[in-house]
Structure 1
Amino acid sequence: MNKLLFSLLLLLLLPVALLVIITPLDSEKQYTFGLIGIATLFLLGLSKSKKVSVIMVVMSVLTSTRYIYWRATETLHFNSTIEAVLGIGLFVAELYVWVILLLGYLQTTWPLKRTIEPLPDDMSLWPTVDIYVPSYNESLDVVRDTVLAAQCIDYPKEKLKIYLLDDGKRDEFAVFAADAGVGYITRNDNRHAKAGNLNHALTLTKGELICIFDCDHVATRAFLQATVGSFLKEERLALLQTPHYFYSPDPFERNLSAARHVPNEGALFYGPVQQGNDNWNATFFCGSCAVIRRVALEEIGGFAVETVTEDAHTALKMQRLGWNSAFLALPLAAGLATERLGLHVIQRTRWARGMTQIFRVDNPLFGRGLSWPQRLCYLNAMLHFQYGLPRVIFLTAPMAYLLFNQNIIASSASMIFAYMLPHLLMSVYINSRMNGRYRYAFWGEIYETVMAFHLVIPTLLTLISPKHGKFNVTDKGGLLDNGFFDFNIVRPHVIVVVMMLAGIVAGITRAVAHNYFGVDPKVMALNIGWGCFSVLILLAAIAVAKETRQVRKTIRIDVALPAIVHYASGISVRTTTVDMSMGGVKLVTPDDRYQHDVIEEVEILLQSGAVCIPVSLIDATEKVIRLQFGEMPLSRRRELVRVVLARADAWITPPHPKDRPLHSLMGIVRCVFELFYHTWKERKARRRSARVNKGEAA
């Protein structure tokens, strides 16, 4: 009955929606219409109701569709071939953004906030699980703690087997696996890269469920108890994915001070997007931190090998056969983010190529087995990675008028502003309202601008030839002794900034003398404003390339745990940890005994037990003591992993504050200011140092 009423209401409202979209208005009436819409949106925004959010989404969809309709019917008139090429290119880019906006609303408006399904008390009913840790060229220092953390998972030992899948065929890995007491699997070739490695292991193991961790992802003790219950409740559940949480900073967080206080790049995907996918039974497999039912994998012939993103393609294949998927939005494992911007670009380029390959070889819009919401969720993911060319177009479009006097939007500045303002304001406001704890306004532009120029050619080539390219492994765990500016990564950004600044100067000159140059000062002002925004975003993207030093081999994690300091004299004193890493610990200074007594061990206390670790003093103050862990056997290191990385609540963090778009924009301005300020300070310091050295030499 409810569906019938909804269908009738939809039929009644469709003509109204059509009128809203296609009714032409002059600039004054369009301004009035847009301002009324914006005011209504802000008034509705005072309510926290989910139904109100849906109404606001509908308003945004209608307003944006009205803008696109106006652009298509009123503004595509050109005076030359070059204007037509540039103008139609800009319109196609806007059309792309409109499609992504609509698909994004579909994904994120109805997130499914799944909870943990408890396991039965009778452990004999629990399924057997094989944990795979695939590796190729990563160092043992990266892989070791992942394997040890897997051994700390709370699950019946007779039902759990752990395998190190070494595609690098390294003797030290075989020795480590034997010492740790886990399985070691290798193969004669590296065919199909990671997917081939996993498929080879499938033929040699027997667990009912397969749990996969990339070699840098350390699991918490609760991982299986939080995920396996869903497979017992739902027989057709093939996949349960959990978020990829990173305990090391990514290039944005390391190189931009403002980025340390905003949700990271992946937060939106591993929040509202995957929860929205889950609502439509379209959760993506992300290659790690997931559990998969073996029967489902065997039914599709194993992990997909046709593309370089075997993870998403594998999920798509299972869903085509009617298997279900789920997403549990709890960080139950954590890994290392890409350390440098260059590595970040390589990784994201592989993702873009892989999703483009799937679009070509197994397009979700075609073929059997998927519902339309599933098809659209996958389509959005694949189209998302085509943002390179549209983003470049948006960044450079103002130059057409500023430098070359090419009018690529055939309309007055007043009409453009009247139609564009409601479209942009509503989309920014609603996305901030719905996803503001996961992605702050304007930061998406930074993330995409960094990558845009690097994605254009790979995605276009892959669209033409989907077999183009190969699987690239992302290096993890590297160090950087000295900071540097990675000019090679941002060379195209710098070139565009220089050209845009030249265009802005030329535009201001022509606007001031508009009678002489015969230009409309309002159109010029619109393009100058657009150009200034492009420069701001480009400079913020360039700032990410200013790499900072990374000299710590292990990442410090803020955690307050009770501890006991054991002195050589036999005296023990209670205190609390401030932060910990796999290399050492910082403690609250309990007293001044450290000044005349040697600290031999520190004991970390947990509800599940305690671990005692040999230490040596690095330094101490009245407030904190810094201790370095000494050499320890594998069994002791496993206990340390359990304390530092594998605690059930290790990665549970408070949510970010709600987004404030203007505050977010000012954070980006701050990043640009710091780029120039810090560069000036460094050059000043180098000149001073050079003068000192010259004086000493004299």
Structure 2
Amino acid sequence: MQAESLVPLLLITAAILLFGNRWQNNAWADRLVVAGLTVVILRYLGWRLVETVLPAGIFSVTGVFIWTVFIIEILAWLDTAVLYAYMLRRTNRTPEADEHETRLRGMTPIDLPEVDIFIATYNEPAEVLEKTIVGAVELDWPQAKLNVWVLDDGRRGWLQRMSERLGAGYLTRADNAHAKAGNINAAVARTSAPFFLVLDADFIPQRNFLYRTMGFFEDPKIGIVQIPHNFFNPDPMQASLNMSKVMPDDQRFFFEAIMPGRDGYDCAFCCGSNGIVRRSALEEIGNKLPSGSITEDMLLTLALKRKGYITRYLDERLAFGLAPENINAFFIQRARWARGAIQIMFLREGPFGGPGLKWYERLFFLPFHWITQSFGQTIAMVTPAIYLLTGVPPLVNASADTVMSYQLPAIVAAIAAVRHFAPGKYHPLATMAHGVLQAFRLLPVVVATLLKPHGHAFKVTPKGGEGTEIQDTATVAICLLLCGLMTAGLAINSSYNLQIIASSHLMPVVAFWSAVNMVVLLLVAKIAITPQLLRSEVRFELNEPVVLRTEGGGQAAGKCHDMSLNGIQVEVHAGRSCLPEAGGWIGVDVAQVGVVPAQLRRVFKGEDGSLRAGLSFALPAAEELAEPWKERNPDRIAEAEGAAQLRRRLIRKLFTKDRVRKFDGQDDWRIGVSMLKSIVASEQAVSAVNSACQNAARPVVPVWLHELQSRTETALDDEWRAVLRARAEATNDSSAA
């Protein structure tokens, strides 16, 4: 290898080391980074076209392959160019939200606008819906100006009972035409508030949601206010690689880097959930969401944009939902997004059709990402195997020296630029593995939708443990097959008597390329197998004092370390003597919740040497409270009411006050090493104690603990009874109207 071929890479490396993170969030530095990256990429693309593509011609198998690879690469670089355009105009709307909140909180309740909350649901289970309904009803907004509606396309009697018990209205319709868009449109026609917030069935709003967002509508040009999707459970990649405390979920880069950039061009879009819509704006397009695409949210943004309305984006954690809980749910969700984005391209209301859009707005609404990722990642994974086993090269006139001089600097510069704009949100190895994971399964979806844009069914992402497929066998098989083919190709070409490629300056590059691909493919195979969930309910870190109460009036101070709807881990200050035997009853006095009945499951030493107690809560499941228990157990109505309100208060405490998942903040090298280790690591075992608790019938809470609970109920529930009265009055008024 010639020394001069290393000069461009060394210059880029020196720039990265010299500037590091010093100039982040500096407009001039951002422009300088993009300008430098543009020079490096244009230099590389000039070499690619003139030296490695044009000499190949096109009227041969080799020529067709080389041109195909090049065209896909050009599309990928175009997608990259759009990405950096976003990076140059990132916004931070938090200071504006602060001003708006101060103004709104200074207004009298009667002057605040009325808001409808639409919770769209089809087949989600009770334990998912219960949290969302509680979060919506508990929103910090004048009760007379807040109407919560559960939109049930499943037409389930138990959900109507649950909605009424929790203080929400219930709406359904005769059919399921146009899926989610049709469900919302049916509700729009039957309600009247000037604004409505759409929540997916699993997204729990934080209490300050409306005070942080509604102020943006002071600008009459704002048609939608959108906030990001955040999650309180690990996604399939985090779960499979056991990195839920190390690496953020895969959607953080989109919501925390791309969407603020789109907002800078007034090109942010509605994301289906967590968006507030101005009803008067909707009336200008027929008072209904467009239904020409299965991603009605993006189409709604385009329709309003043509009328002069903007979708404003506020990057704050104001709602938390469920990330796909297994690989099957993940692919159903991403296939719907990809198909819907491509469908829009073929609609008259899409980026190509009709007036009212600037040229860059049309460009920004094209589905580059889904198309280039599906084709690009797939071709990147299969090309080494094709070359090694057939001798057909992906480019001509290339050697290790020229690749080192032109291609590698472009790749390193592009990665460094992303890290400059989005530190801590972009991890190269994780991004590559995630892209390949999607590409294999989404490529057929992308091709099918390009050939036949419409006529595809809307599929709801399974939630709450639905969708039992936890292994994507096809993806695992493809990964192992490609690893095998590349291994075989390297072995064949290392033998003088068997080699297919007799001599090529490209062989060292392809060998390195194959090695990187095999690492990525093994990671993808690992991700494609979702481990069993450790717990049925997410557990939040929560450091605050609690009081443990035992039979006979005994009590002991403790400190909560983590808590879920199923149980709690407590540091016990008074020692083991204050606790009953395993299986014994304890009342856990939790601030703003009350006395929660619990059973002692185990006592153990924490990492700091403190005495810890693991307790399981004895609360009814959401399904139980959705049943018509008044008819079945008339003598236990008071007990059931108390348990239901206790569960509601616990949901409010755990899920509506920014219980964001925290990450260790490791650098790329450590995350990369952790990912590589995970390839050979065994799956985490399912908690035996937790499984045993779930499988057992709910025990009967002793009388002394019921009496203790009842003494704390009245004061805690005064506020809730006022909420229910206001909800009932609002629902009756709306029904009468």
What is the TM-score of this pair, normalised by structure 2? Answer: 0.82
Match of 1:12 in 2: none
2:614 paired with 1:625: yes
Match of 1:288 in 2: 273
Contact 1:436 1:658 in 2 (8 A): no
Contact 1:450 1:490 in 2 (8 A): no
2:423 paired with 1:436: yes
Matches within 5 A, 1:333-348: 333-348=319-334
Structure 1 pair 667/310, CA: closer, same or farther in 2 (3 Å)?
Answer: same
What is the deviation of 1:41?
Answer: 4.5
Contact 2:598 2:615 in 1 (8 A): no
* Farther off after superposition, 63-72 or 191-200: 63-72
Match of 2:56 in 1: 78
Q: In 2, distance between residues paired with 1:179 and 1:626? A: 28
Cα root mean square deviation, aligned = 2.7
2:423 paired with 1:423: no
Contact 1:620 1:626 in 2 (8 A): no
Contact 1:180 1:634 in 2 (8 A): no
What is the deviation of 1:614?
Answer: 2.6
Match of 2:627 in 1: none
2:674 paired with 1:667: yes
Matches within 5 A, 1:292-691: 292-301=277-286, 302-361=288-347, 362-379=349-366, 381-413=367-399, 414-478=401-465, 485-509=471-495, 518-520=502-504, 522-550=505-533, 552-591=535-574, 592=576, 593-595=578-580, 599-605=585-591, 609-621=592-604, 622-631=611-620, 632-647=642-657, 649-651=658-660, 657=665, 659-660=667-668, 662-674=669-681
Structure 1 pair 416/69, CA: closer, same or farther in 2 (3 Å)?
Answer: same
Matches within 5 A, 1:177-216: 177-216=163-202
Q: Of 216, 219, 222, which aligns to 1:230?
A: 216
Match of 2:626 in 1: none
Contact 2:72 2:372 in 1 (8 A): no
What is the deviation of 1:357?
Answer: 0.6
Q: In 2, distance between residues paired with 1:259 and 1:567? A: 36
Q: In 2, distance between residues paired with 1:281 and 1:656? A: 34
Q: Of 87, 90, 96, which aligns to 2:69?
A: 90
| Secondary structure, counterpart of 1:633 in structure 2 | helix
Structure 1 pair 69/503, CA: closer, same or farther in 2 (3 Å)?
Answer: same
Q: In 1, distance between residues paired with 2:232 and 2:21? A: 36
Structure 1 pair 561/385, CA: closer, same or farther in 2 (3 Å)?
Answer: farther
What is the deviation of 1:517?
Answer: 6.2
> Which amino acid in the other structure matches residue 78 of structure 2?
V
2:244 paired with 1:269: no
What is the deviation of 1:127?
Answer: 0.7
| Secondary structure, counterpart of 1:617 in structure 2 | strand
> Which amino acid in the other structure matches residue 277 of structure 1?
R
5+ residue gaps, structure 2: 605-610, 621-641, 687-737
Q: 1:95-135, CA deviations, whole angstroms, 9 ceiling, x for partnerless residues?
A: 12211111111112331111122114122221100001111
Contact 1:120 1:126 in 2 (8 A): no
Match of 1:61 in 2: 38
* Farther off after superposition, 250-259 or 359-368: 359-368
Match of 1:687 in 2: none
> Which amino acid in the other structure matches residue 20 of structure 2?
G
Structure 1 pair 493/90, CA: closer, same or farther in 2 (3 Å)?
Answer: same
What is the deviation of 1:208?
Answer: 1.2
Contact 1:134 1:165 in 2 (8 A): yes
Match of 2:20 in 1: 45
2:231 paired with 1:252: no
Match of 1:22 in 2: none
What is the deviation of 1:37?
Answer: 4.3
What is the TM-score of this pair, normalised by structure 1? Answer: 0.86
| Secondary structure, counterpart of 1:627 in structure 2 | strand
User: Aligned pairs, how many?
Assistant: 642
Q: In 1, distance between residues paired with 2:140 and 2:46? A: 57
Q: In 2, distance between residues paired with 1:300 and 1:354? A: 20
Structure 1 pair 596/341, CA: closer, same or farther in 2 (3 Å)?
Answer: closer
What is the deviation of 1:641?
Answer: 1.3
Q: In 2, distance between residues paired with 1:485 and 1:197? A: 32
> Which amino acid in the other structure matches residue 558 of structure 1?
E
Structure 1 pair 568/494, CA: closer, same or farther in 2 (3 Å)?
Answer: same
5+ residue gaps, structure 1: 1-25, 683-698
Q: In 1, distance between residues paired with 2:470 and 2:274? A: 33
> Which amino acid in the other structure matches residue 641 of structure 1?
I
| Secondary structure, counterpart of 1:477 in structure 2 | coil
* Farther off after superposition, 533-542 or 101-110: 101-110
Q: In 1, distance between residues paired with 2:297 and 2:467? A: 31
Contact 1:480 1:549 in 2 (8 A): no
| Secondary structure, counterpart of 2:182 in structure 1 | helix
What is the deviation of 1:678?
Answer: 6.6
> Which amino acid in the other structure matches residue 408 of structure 2?
L
Q: In 2, distance between residues paired with 1:471 and 1:238? A: 26
Structure 1 pair 45/181, CA: closer, same or farther in 2 (3 Å)?
Answer: closer
Contact 1:589 1:625 in 2 (8 A): no
Structure 1 pair 251/203, CA: closer, same or farther in 2 (3 Å)?
Answer: same
Q: In 1, distance between residues paired with 2:614 and 2:245? A: 26
Contact 1:352 1:386 in 2 (8 A): no
Q: 1:425-449, CA deviations, whole angstroms, 9 ceiling, x for partnerless residues?
A: 1011111222131121221111111
Q: In 2, distance between residues paired with 1:267 and 1:624? A: 35
Q: 1:613-637, CA deviations, whole angstroms, 9 ceiling, x for partnerless residues?
A: 2323333333233231334533332
